[in-house]
Amino acid sequence: MSTPDLNLLITLDVLLAEGSVAGAARRLRLSPSAMSRALARLRETTGDPLLVRAGRGLVPTPRALALRERVPQLVQEAEMVLRPAEKLDLERLARTFTLRTSDGFTANFGPALVARVRAEAPGVRLRFLQKLDKDSNPLRQGLIDLETGVIGATTGPEVRVRSLFRDRFIGVVRSAHPLSQGTMTAARYAAGQHVLVSRRGLDTGLMDEALQTLGLTREIVACVSGFSDALSFARASDLVATVPERHTGNLRAGMFSFALPVSLPEITVSMMWHPRMDGDAAHRWLRACVQEACRIDP
């Protein structure tokens, strides 16, 4: 089955509106013979005469009358699709964006992001989902609009990435913890009892590898999947949490934080999105809002 020429929709719309080959030809700036040929093609395509002779004029068939109700709307919708995107009107924008982030990111940067979005686009809602892995399929499938985190080996090669900030790991204990007093050394740090953050449920991390090079090991007594859980444990016990500094600013309020006595590489936290959202004006605005929220120090 051949694909119909959609340009004929415009011709059909004008023909049905004018009810005259000559009148339609004038509106479309065609010769009467060219318009007659277009009508012949329409008749062949639809399998209906559409306009038939009645005296000196033409009258529409029942099929043409039915089409006359639908064709103008189809033409208008097609023109809207092919028209350049209108300027984004934030005050009238009504949309829900789904963001997948870690608990630390949501707690630390979420309030500023929501405040900015509400101030500029009161009809926009942000839905935050917890990030449990680095799988890019939710972005590909359109289940989420934007994601934040550290780029991993499983991040899809087509995913767009923009850096937000660099972060370093620090140690955190409750305010009256013994480690809150005195000089911090690798030995003192390793001698404490620790809570490990691992989304994959691992028993050790980069810190354990760094301590091992110094001939030290630490005792891990709890493993959790998020920074907020680790800090909750540390706040209510003598456990030591090792977390990213900027990522957890609000979560560490009232606790004692210290620079690690062992060198760990910094991490780069980025935002990620699928390339199909590149040209979406509202999505570009959202990305700018996220960047601005991350520029504010916790």
> Quick one: tokens of 179?
């480690």
- Closest by CA to 113, choosing from 159, 124, 94, 87, is 124
Predicted local confidence at residue 128, as pLDDT:
95
Residue 76 is predicted with a pLDDT of: 75
Residue 83, pLDDT above cutoff 80: no
* Other Cβ atoms closer than 10 A to 91: 8
**Region(s) of the chain under CATH 3.40.190.10:** 95-167+268-295, 169-265
Task: Specify the range with the lowest mean pLDDT, choosing from 83-87, 191-195, 264-268.
Answer: 83-87
| HSE value, Cβ hemisphere, 13 Å, CA-based, for 250 | 13
Residues 195-223 have a mean pLDDT of 91
Average pLDDT of the chain is: 89
In sequence order, the 6+-apart residues with CB closer than 8 A to the CB of 81 are: none
SS3 string of 217-264? CCEEEEEECCHHHHHHHHHCCCCEEEEECHHHCHHHCCCEEEECCCCC
Q: Is the pLDDT of residue 1 over 60?
A: no
For 95-167+268-295, CATH number out of 2.40.50.180, 3.40.190.10, 3.30.465.10, 3.40.50.800 equals 3.40.190.10
The answer to whether the CB of 232 falls within 8 A of the CB of 197 is no
| Residue 214 one-letter amino acid | L
| Per-residue pLDDT tens digits for 217-239 | 999 999 998 899 999 999 999 99
Query: Bigger pLDDT: 161 or 137?
Result: 161
Q: What is the pLDDT of residue 253?
A: 92
pLDDT band with cut points at 50, 70 and 90 for residue 154: low
The residues, ordered by sequence, that sit 6+ positions from 225 with a Cβ below 8 Å of its Cβ are 132, 197, 198, 199, 201
The DSSP output letter for 181 is S
Residue 188: other Cβ atoms inside 10 A: 13
Whether the pLDDT of residue 256 is over 80: the answer is yes
- Per residue in 25-64, pLDDT tens? 888 889 989 989 989 998 988 888 988 988 878 888 889 8
CATH label, 169-265, candidates 3.40.190.10, 3.40.720.10, 3.90.1570.10, 3.30.300.160 = 3.40.190.10
> In this structure, what token pair is assigned to residue 171?
């140690």
Tell me if the pTM is above 0.75: no
For the domain made up of 8-82, the CATH class stated in words is mainly alpha
Q: Of 65-79, 119-133, 186-200, 248-262, which range is least confident? A: 65-79
pLDDT band at 16 (very low <50, low <70, confident <90, very high): confident
Tokens of 56: 């000196």
